[in-house]
Amino acid sequence: MVGHNYKNLIKSFKDLFVEDSLIDVSDGWYIMVLNVLNIISSHNNIKNSEIKVLSIKSKFGRLRIYLSEYDDYLDGVLDAFEKQSFYICERCGNQVLSSGFGTLCLKCK
């Protein structure tokens, strides 16, 4: 299922997605997803590359983003967002102070 917000994101960044691209994360991570798409898009512009986003998922409570190609810069970016996601509630976007399995704040647990 792709939430309404994410459908709009796919439209806004249509150059980054392919037909089968999948966004399967909850709305709490919307801002992170928006930020990472902006970074990938500007990286493509600067490098004159056409790296695509294949899927954006939650795996073991972390934001995982799969691309058609990687380079050192994007490896670093994706790693940073994955680490950040561990501290942001996937459902509501609130800060999560200590995280067990999955990423939900105390209110959403």
- Say how many C-beta atoms besides its own lie within 10 A of residue 41's C-beta: 16
Quote the least distance from Cβ 20 to Zn ion, whole Å.
30
CB-CB contact of 33 with 55 (8 Å): no
| Residue 108 interacts with Zn ion (CB under 5 A): yes or no | yes
User: Rounded to 10 degrees, what is the CA torsion of 62, 68, 70, 75?
Assistant: -10
| Residue 67 interacts with Zn ion (CB under 5 A): yes or no | no
Our CB check for Zn ion shows the closer of 44 and 94 to be 94
| Residue 56 interacts with Zn ion (CB under 5 A): yes or no | no
Give the residues lining the site for Zn ion (CB under 5 A): 89, 91-92, 94, 105, 108
